[in-house]
Structure 1
Amino acid sequence: MNEQANAPKGIAFNLESHIEYAAGAVVSKTLIKKEIGNITLFAFDQGQGLSEHTAPFDAVVHILDGKAEITIGGQLQTVNTGEMLIMPANISHALQATERFKMLLVMIRGE
């Protein structure tokens, strides 16, 4: 489920409560979508994930709730609430929810 909904501009809001979990699903909500990049919220129910893929640009993942198993270039790591990592461009990566989690994904297109 992908929901196009820009973030409220000029008003503070809580990222974690701005998206809800859905049973057996991955929910995404685009906060900003511009030619130069995107900012997207995700909520992964337990057992859900994103299969291995690559992206042409670095991407920043910030875990807002729960914990994610993220594999980058074949290396598995657990990323917990409050932690973030940078997924490097052109390196395969995948995400798996062994428990449900929410994350903010920031991708900026560039060199």
Structure 2
Amino acid sequence: MSDFPLIKNVPFSETLVLTDLVEYQEGRVVSRTFVQNKLISFTLFAFDKGEGLSAHTASGDAFVQILDGEALINIGGKDFVVKTGEVVVMPANVSHSLEARERFKMLLTVVKGEG
């Protein structure tokens, strides 16, 4: 085992409900990062209805899993409505944005190359 935990902000060796690890807050985007390093980031988000992230790019492929609710995700100018249980991958270096059509929670995993 490592001298320091590789995963943070979550209890170890107990059963947890992923969607309970981040709460909705009115008018806000709330996040909890579990891993962030030069190769991967792993973050849980809760978006209130109408909240979102403006167009931006990421240096790695971003795997989005919708855990609750519904989001409008734009990838390279194409809109996708993504609902509970669905996933979408946003390619590295392609502009994307997100908007909460209703409150939603997502697990975001960004995987980067070895630089």
The answer, yes or no, to whether TM exceeds 0.5 is yes
Of 75, 79, 86, the match for 1:76: 79
Output the CA distance in 2 between the equivalents of 1:24 and 1:45: 6
SS at match of 1:97: strand
Residues 35-93 of structure 1 show CA distances to partners (whole Å, capped at 9, x for unaligned) of 32111000000110000001111010000000100000000010000111111011100
Aligned runs of 1:1-111 on 2, under 5 Å? Answer: 6-110=9-113
Quote the offset at 1:33 in angstroms: 2.2
- Percent identity over the alignment is 52
Contiguous gaps of at least 5 residues in structure 1: none
With the length of structure 1 as denominator, give the TM-score of the two structures. 0.90
Contiguous gaps of at least 5 residues in structure 2: 1-7
Larger radius of gyration: 2
Output the CA distance in 1 between the equivalents of 2:71 and 2:20: 18
Output the CA distance in 1 between the equivalents of 2:87 and 2:26: 25
Change in 2 beyond 3 A, CA 1:10/1:109: farther
Quote the offset at 1:10 in angstroms: 2.7
With the length of structure 2 as denominator, give the TM-score of the two structures. 0.87
Q: How many residues align?
A: 107
Amino acid at match of 2:34: L
